[in-house]
Amino acid sequence: MKELRPYTRNVFYYETDKMGVVHHSNYIRYFDEARVDHLKQGEVAFDLLESLGILLHTLSLNCEYKRPLVFDEPFSVYGTLTKVNGTTLELDYRIVSGKTGEVNVYGHSVHCFTDSNMRPIRLKNKYPEIYDKFAAYVQPKKKEVKSEK
């Protein structure tokens, strides 16, 4: 089982709101950025998927907000591929402040593979070599993460 490196950057000014902290919708975008980075690490980059006519749709999303990030604060998104089967992909996320080391946000997302006409694709059957690349990164859901939520 291969490990994914966390995705890291700092908070942008326009991501803060008048409360002086990151607007809660932006963490969803941080998950998105991390997912793109993780797929690239796993050699199944969006470019490759799209060149094969495979689209990745988001089916559901959960977020638990613990502590807000502030302007210019460095953060890391630790993503874990918790499940891949023929048609769907699931990830857990943990956003951690590079300044305090504390968890800011927990997240979970579910995605499905479709063709360009939005019809579901059975990845395992149709693109087994792509499926295998995903499978190499799957990690059983850690107990402590769940209880921590």
- The CA-based angle 43-44-45, given to 5 degrees, is 95
| Residue 13 DSSP code | G
Q: Is 60 in the site for its own copies (CB under 8 A)?
A: yes
Told to check if 119 binds its own copies by CB under 8 A, we report: no
In the complex, what is the shortest distance from the CB of residue 63 to its own copies, in angstroms, rounded to a whole number? 4
Whether 17 is catalytic is yes
CB atoms within 10 A of CB 112: 16
Phi, psi of 59 (to 5 degrees): -95, -40
Q: Which of residues 67-106 bind its own copies (CB under 8 A)?
A: 68, 71-72
Q: Does 18 bind its own copies (CB under 8 A)?
A: yes
Q: Does 24 bind its own copies (CB under 8 A)?
A: yes
Size of the chain, expressed as the number of residues it contains: 149
Nearest to 95 by CA among 14, 13, 35: 35
Which residue lies nearer to its own copies by CB, 98 or 135?
98
Q: Report phi then psi at 137, rounded to 5.
A: -105, -5
Of 2, 5, 12, 148, which lies in the binding site for its own copies, with binding defined by CB under 8 A? 12
- Catalytic positions, please? 17
Which residues of this chain interact with its own copies, rule CB under 8 A? Answer: 9, 12-14, 16-21, 23-26, 28-29, 32-33, 36, 45-47, 55, 57-65, 68, 71-72
